[in-house]
Each structure stands twice: as structure tokens, then as C-alpha cells.
Amino acid sequence: MDTNDISILAIESSCDETSASVILNGKVLNNIVATQSVHEKYGGVVPELASRAHQENLIPVVQEAIHSSGLSQDQLSAVAFTRGPGLMGALLVGVSFAKAFAFSRQIPLIEVNHMQAHVLAHFIEDPKPNFPFICLTVSGGHTQLVLVKDHLDMEVIGETRDDAVGEAFDKTAKLLGLPYPGGPLIDKYAKEGNPKAFEFPITRMPNLDYSFSGIKTAVLYFLRNQLQENPKFIEENLADLCASIQYSLIQMLLIKLKEAVKQYGVREIAIAGGVSANSGLRSTLTELAARKGWNLYIPKFEYCTDNAAMIAMAAHYKFLKGDFSSLDVTPLAKMKI
Ligand code: KG4
Ligand code: ZN
């Protein structure tokens, strides 16, 4: 270690993953994630249980990140944390830990916006997008089109007005009787199904905004009617139902992405967030990008879902700018980009 080296410990605790990462001079050394399985039996994330699990998991996760980095605690230049958006109780665990760590080691504290970090996951490994680029961030909590002008200069140009697309995957999966989180299961069954078997609505909002609440209601009423006639309707048509629901969701995402590309004249396109793991979205977008001549960037799955490596990446850029927080910083559950 040189005195000019920049090493940062980063913490992520905004939802149901407790994660820690160490970054050295902009290179992520590790990404330790403890997934909370406690929520599975409740069909969604239970905020109070998330906070408790973060309290249990955080210290071991941090210890593992520091240990496997090969650095010692006193070699760390700063500590970073997710300030928001996220669940208040979950965020509080990470914020409190980071503040105490910064105070006890007398090192700078860096707050990170979780949504900026999802975008900056693209800078963890090559190939990296060139500025300006458009990032479609799709997760269980958010659906945003972001115009990225520089590492820390981003503008939300479109977003959902109600549910996030991941929520639409999970809620429709629940209507099909699938366990939480249902997104990956819809993806799995959709591979065997016909996307045109059933027609679900493709909601078009004004501007570049999204709405995903309509499809949930449409699926609910459709299933109710079909089940009255045939109680085995879901099991007999599961693959086609999943493929048709997924088709509508992907169409909604891509219609606005195409409009954004047209409006902003940008051909560097990225996707981020847990839903970017969806194989239908990946293949449709890859074909679309090839047809339109866009350069498409999809991060490794590990960096798509919630993780501290992306928080570390954002913190590195903030460190370079000397953008530090004071020790009286508090979480912001609805923090904006
Ligand atoms: O980014 P993420 O891990 O957590 C946040 O919400 O911040 O995203 C989780 C969401 C869940 O809604 C999950 O169902 C969805 O991503 N998801 C998928 C797939 N993998 C994860 N949705 C569709 N297809 C997938 N393969
Ligand atoms: Zn996230």
C-alpha cells in the first residue's frame, strides 16, 4: 500500500441483501453477499425481518470482505454506505455501522445513492459504456430510464408511476401460485411457452414513463374467469401464461427504451438491476440492439442484483471528487438520483 492508494469499504443494506465490498484504486477486490431467505415464506420482503437479518449478517459480511481483501482495517481510506432509496429500517443498519466505523477509525464517510450505484455497476469490469449512455434500471423496487452524462452526473428521463417491473413479475407469479420471488420462475417456465398464446395489455404512459399495475389486474381477472370454467387452467397452461406475461412486460420496457434512444440520439445502451437477469429481456434486447446498431452493455448477474461492489464503485468516484458526508447524515428512504 502506497500513501496515494485509495481503498474503500462499502456497505449495502437497502432491501434484503446484506453486502460488503472492498475496492482498491477503482478495482473491486470482492463482493460478499448474504441473501435473506427468511422472506420466502411470506411472499415478499418483510421490512422488520430485513432489518433484523441485516443486524445479524452485517459484521460477519464486513469481516469477510476486509479479510479476503488482504488489507487491514487501518489501511482503509474511507467507508461508504447506501443512503437510499430503500427500506428505512434496513438502511439504518448500514448507515449506523458506517458512521460508527468512520468515527472510530477517523476516516471519511461516503454516502451513495443506490440507483446511481446500479448504473455504476457497469464500471466494475470491461467493457464499459461510453458517455453519454442510456441505462434501463429494472429491479424489484424501481424501473427507470437514466441518461448518464458522467459517472456522477445522471438524469432520470422516465420512470414507473406505480409498480416496478420486478414487482409486476413477482405479483403476477403469485397469482399463478408460484413462490416468491416469482420473476426467475416466470423466466424459467416462459422458455417452454408461446408468448402469443394469451394477450395481456401493453400499457402506454405519456412521455417516457411506465405503468405496471394494469397487467397485474388484467391477469387477475383473466385467471378468475378461466378458472371458473377449468379449475386446472393454470397448471395446464403455465408455460404459455408465463411466456405471455413476460412478453407484455418486455414489450413495455423496450417501447420506451426505443423512444428514449430516438429522443436523445444516444446509441450506447445499458441495462441494470435484478430484472436484467431475465433471459427473455436479454435476448430480445440483444436482437434489437444488433438490428438498430446500438452498443449494448449487460453487467454480470452478480452485479445486476443488489450488491456492495456497485456501492464501492460509486464511492470511488465520490472519493476522487472529495465528496464526503458528515457524521450526522441520516438515511433517505425515497432518495432521488
Ligand atoms: O435488483 P434486485 O435484486 O433487488 C431490488 O429490487 O433492488 O431485483 C429483484 C427483482 C425481483 O423482483 C425478482 O423477481 C427480479 O428482480 N428478477 C427477475 C429475474 N431475476 C430476478 N425477474 C425476471 N426474470 C428473472 N430472471
Ligand atoms: Zn437494487
User: Which listed ligand is nearest to 299 at the C-alpha?
Assistant: 1
Task: State yes or no: pLDDT of 329 exceeds 80.
Answer: yes
Give residue 315's pLDDT band: very low, low, confident or very high (50, 70, 90). very high
Burial class (CB in 10 A: 0-12, 13-18, 19+), 48: exposed
CA-CA distance, 18 to 7, in Å (whole number)?
20
- Nearest ligand to the CA of 304 is 1
Average pLDDT, the chain: 96
With a 6 Å cutoff on the Cβ, whether 275 touches ligand 1 is yes
Give the pLDDT mean for 8-12. 98
Closest ligand relative to 253 C-alpha = 1
* The architecture CATH gives domain 7-120+304-321: 2-Layer Sandwich (3.30)
Residue-wise pLDDT for 24-59, tens only, equals 999 999 999 988 887 777 777 888 888 898 999 999
Residue found under cell 464517510: 109
CB 187 less than 6 A from any atom of ligand 1: yes
Instruction: Check whether 113 has a pLDDT greater than 80.
Output: yes
Domain with CATH 3.30.420.40 in the chain: 7-120+304-321, 127-299
Q: Check if the beta carbon of residue 212 is closer than 8 Å to that of residue 252.
A: yes
Q: 183 CA to middle of ligand 1, Å?
A: 6
Note residues around ion ligand 2 (Cβ under 5 angstroms): 139, 306
CA of 18 to the centre of ligand 2 (A): 12
pLDDT tens-place string over residues 219-250: 999 999 999 999 999 999 999 999 999 999 99
Give the closest ligand to the alpha carbon of residue 140: 1
| CB crowding 206-236: b at 16 or more within 10 Å, else e | eebbbbbebbbebbeebbeebeeeeeebbee
Give me ligand 2 centre to Cα 113, in Å.
10
Whether pLDDT at 3 is above 80 = no
* Higher-scoring residue by pLDDT: 289, 50: 289
- Angle made by CA atoms 196, 208, 88, in degrees to the nearest 5: 100
Question: Above 90 in pLDDT, residue 186?
Answer: yes
Ligand 1 mean position, distance from CA 228 (Å) = 31
Name which residue sits closest to atom 22 of ligand 1, judged by CA. 183
d(CA 226, CA 234): 9
Angle between helices 183-190 and 165-175 (to 10 degrees): 70
Ligand 1 neighbourhood includes 139 CB (under 6 angstroms): yes
Statement: 127-299 belongs to CATH 3.65.10.10: no
- CB of 140 sitting under 6 A from ligand 1: yes
The least confident of 41-45, 87-91, 148-152, 199-203 is 41-45
The confidence score (pLDDT) of residue 266 equals: 97
**Ligand 2 centroid distance, CA of 334 (Å):** 13
pLDDT given for residue 53 in this prediction = 86
Ligand 1 atom with least separation from CA of 170:
14
In angstroms, the CA 135 to CA 268 distance is 9
pLDDT for res 245: 98
The confidence score (pLDDT) of residue 173 equals: 97
- Asked whether 181 lines ligand 1 (CB < 6 A), one says yes
